Structure 1
Amino acid sequence: MHREVRLFRGLKQPSIFFYQLNEMEALKGYKKRVSFLFLLSIIIFGLISSFGIGMDPLSKDMTKLSPTVFELEKFLFFLGRLLAGMLYAAIILFFSSLIFWTISNEGEYRKLVITQGLVLIILLLEKLTYIPLSLFSSLEWYSSPLSLGVITQYITSKSYVIYLMGSFSLFKIWVFYIQYKGIKQLTHQKNWIIWLVILLTNLFLWSINALLAFLNISTLI
């Protein structure tokens, strides 16, 4: 079977998508799809930064900087976010797929990358929700009403815990579902092993994200 990969169909009909993906002998359009995902991630990270989201540390020093230096700092921040978008896509597509590939008896690595391509689209959609939250409600990403960060702030004042729980949202439930459907179809591994690896992999990424936020570094995951 040599059908072309249609990513957005995987979000609407994951069972059919992953069945067809598993049956494919050759992944037609693989490089084009991966390139598209990298470009999409870079654009969305750039879009978010264009609204000034995440520039709080720089804004605090605005009065201390000359207009020229401040504009240069803004440009460097924007450039850094574009690079962050590229790194973000690489981590989601290739690093996570490599972990899932280790439990595969017969799954092809590139097909797992395509699975993570669907995950990347979901995560980028989540990042887009941060724009109205920041602009209209002045909320940080970890205070999204779609995450557990809001509830956690009523329980504890520990920043790291808030950032960690804020990483878990309704979008992540969607991610779990897509990852399970894809990995199950592609690896034919036992359910408990699949769920364990999914949970540990995502928990590791959330922990890194929370650490970056705790250290006041612009978050990636």
Structure 2
Amino acid sequence: MEFIQVGGQHFMHREVRLFRGITQPSTFFYQLKEMEVIKGYRKRVFFLFLLSIIAFGLISSFGIGMDPLSKEMTKLSPATYELEKFLFFLGRLLAGLLYAAIVLFFSSLIFWTISDEGEYRKLVITQGIVLMILLVEKLTYIPLSLFLSLDWYSSPLSLGVITQYLTSKSYVIYLLGSFSLFKVWVFYIQYKGIKQLTNQKNWIIWLVILLTNLFLWSLNALLAFLNISTLI
């Protein structure tokens, strides 16, 4: 713990350790609430953006998500095909950048609207932990795709598998396939963080968490249904 002096006043600030938020969320969010100055905020946000870009790039490097392009392989010249592959990879890097921005800033902005005292930056840090969990989930798609030939919505950790036995409607499958055990973990982290930082009523917190995540899952399902991208 360190203290800095600003305008004759002393403020406590700590180095933000995001991984502690995963292993010790109660302690992490208590300390986060007590911080007057968040040390290393910009560095942590930059790290999270970089982590997201790397994760998306790694997934695309295995050719995951390239099915529409692969079908056109016989119609394209080798040079054109390689160019399309490069553009696809570049697009996934940009998607990683946008993905991090949505998770970090958009969701935090919604949570901030129900806060009487919570600081926006602290909510961004909370979503930083959420982003790391979501990126781990995305990395699980690599072995599922390579070894089991499963799409993301067919992950055994999600409701997508069960849904495919109940309906053939693609949008419903994509929507429920977005809900997984990782999302339960996300709900827990978001609740712990928002409760500590905002002191809002439980039912309001849960309602906002549910609606925010449902919106993002619906957007993801729509993008998948339109065969644009699986972004969220």
Determine if the alignment matches structure 1 residue 100 to structure 2 residue 116.
no
Query: How many Å separate the matches in 2 of 1:185 and 1:213?
Result: 35
Q: Pairwise mapping of residues 140-151 of structure 1 onto structure 2 (< 5 A)?
A: 140-151=151-162
Deviation string 1:104-135 (CA, Å, 9 cap, x unpaired) is 00000000000000000000000000000000
- Seq. identity, %: 88
1:76 aligned partner: 87
Which amino acid is 1:101 matched to? W
Show the counterpart of 2:142. 131
- 1-side partners of 2:157 and 2:13: how far apart? 39
Gaps of 5+ in 1: none
Matching of residues 13-28 of structure 1 within 5 Å = 13-28=24-39
Could you tell me how far apart the structure 1 residues matched to 2:13 and 2:95 are? 34
Question: Deviation string for 1:66-109 (max 9, x for gaps)?
Answer: 00000000000000000000000000000000000000000000
2:210 corresponds in structure 1 to: 199
Equivalent-residue separation in structure 2 for 1:215 and 1:139 (angstroms): 19
- Amino acid of the structure 1 residue aligned with 2:196: Q
Segments of 5+ residues of structure 2 without an aligned counterpart are: 1-11
How far has the Cα of 1:218 moved from its partner?
Answer: 1.3
Tell me the amino acid that sits aligned with residue 220 of structure 1: L
The 2-side partners of 1:216 and 1:156 are apart by 19
Structure that is richer in strand per residue: 2
Give the structure 2 partner of residue 180 of structure 1: 191
Q: Does 1:120 align with 2:131?
A: yes
Match in the other structure for 1:152: 163
Q: Deviations over 1:43-87 (max 9, x none)?
A: 000000000000000000000000000000000000000000000
* Aligned: 1:212 with 2:219: no
Q: How many residues align?
A: 221
TM superposition outliers: structure 1 runs of 4+ over 2 Å: none
Q: Which residue of 2 aligns with 1:171?
A: 182
Separation in structure 2 between the aligned mates of residue 29 and residue 38 of structure 1, nearest angstrom: 14
The normalised TM-score by structure 1 is 1.00
RMSD of equivalent CA atoms = 0.3
SS of match in other structure, 1:220: coil
**Within 2, Cα distance between the matches of 1:35 and 1:43?**
12
SS of residue matched to 2:39: coil
